[in-house]
Structure 1
Amino acid sequence: MSVVAIVIVALVALLHIYILVLEMFLWTAPQGRKAFGLTPELAEQTKALAANQGLYNGFLAAGLIWSLVHPQPEFAWQIAMFFLACVAVAGIYGAATASRKIILIQTVPAVIAMLAVMYL
């Protein structure tokens, strides 16, 4: 992978670590409620579900980081493409079921990273 592709993949991984923190640890805090447009009551009622979502975002980030540190470039490429595709699909599903802005936050960066991995 090129340096540009590595940076973009790393940024997508960092984004998912940030989402993990919001969903697992800050869901009921003002920052988490603001990010997801939640009332204090709804945040409290859904915090276990959010923590589960956060864990999955952590798995996506872990896979992307794995692609950045794997010593075999051909396999690292495959790992990156797989996890970026998972991120893109998760974003499409989230946009269809939760909020359209998720496509901009999650899918667009993943697709940009996929293009960078493929062509740069």
Structure 2
Amino acid sequence: MHIVPLVLAVIVAVEHYYILYLEMFQTASPAAQRSFGLDKEFLDDPRVQTLFKNQGLYNGFLATGILWGAFFAANSWSVVTFFIICVVVAAVYGGLTSSKSILIKQGLPAIITLVMLFIFR
């Protein structure tokens, strides 16, 4: 894989590991409150924490899939492209159903990566 989409894919993966960290281990932290635009009382609810931890796990799967594809898969372009498309779809869905800022924060880096994957194929 060309260095440009590779570096961008790693950035997307790191972003999703950070989201995993916030959702699974720092659910009610000030950083999570700012990132998700939710108040501490809501984030302290054990039911919300369970949902966030589950969501964090999925973000970790996306990040791991991207890195596995980039560094270990036989057909790295196909694997990375698949997982980046998953990130784009999740960002579009999140932008439509939760917060439009998700389209920028998560979607834009993934879309740029996807474009670069095709340009440097």
Partner Cα separation in structure 2 for residue 104 and residue 12 of structure 1: 12
Number of equivalenced pairs: 118
Unaligned runs of 5+ in 2: none
TM-score, structure 1 as length reference: 0.93
**Aligned match of 1:12:** 12
**Aligned match of 1:98:** 98
CA RMSD of aligned residues (A): 1.0
The code of the aligned residue for 1:64 comes to: I
| Percent identity of paired positions between Structure 1 and Structure 2 | 40
Partner Cα separation in structure 1 for residue 105 and residue 96 of structure 2: 13
Secondary structure of the residue aligned to 1:81 is helix
Moved more, 57-66 or 40-49: 40-49
C-alpha deviation, 1:71, in angstroms: 5.2
Partner Cα separation in structure 1 for residue 72 and residue 80 of structure 2: 10
TM-score, structure 2 as length reference: 0.93
**Aligned match of 2:56:** 54
For the 8 Å contact 2:73–2:79, the answer to whether it is kept is no
Does residue 44 in structure 1 map to residue 40 in structure 2? no
After the TM superposition, which segments of 4 or more aligned residues of structure 1 sit over 6 Å from their partners? Answer: none
The code of the aligned residue for 1:23 comes to: E
Partner Cα separation in structure 2 for residue 29 and residue 105 of structure 1: 19
Unaligned runs of 5+ in 1: none
Secondary structure of the residue aligned to 2:63 is helix
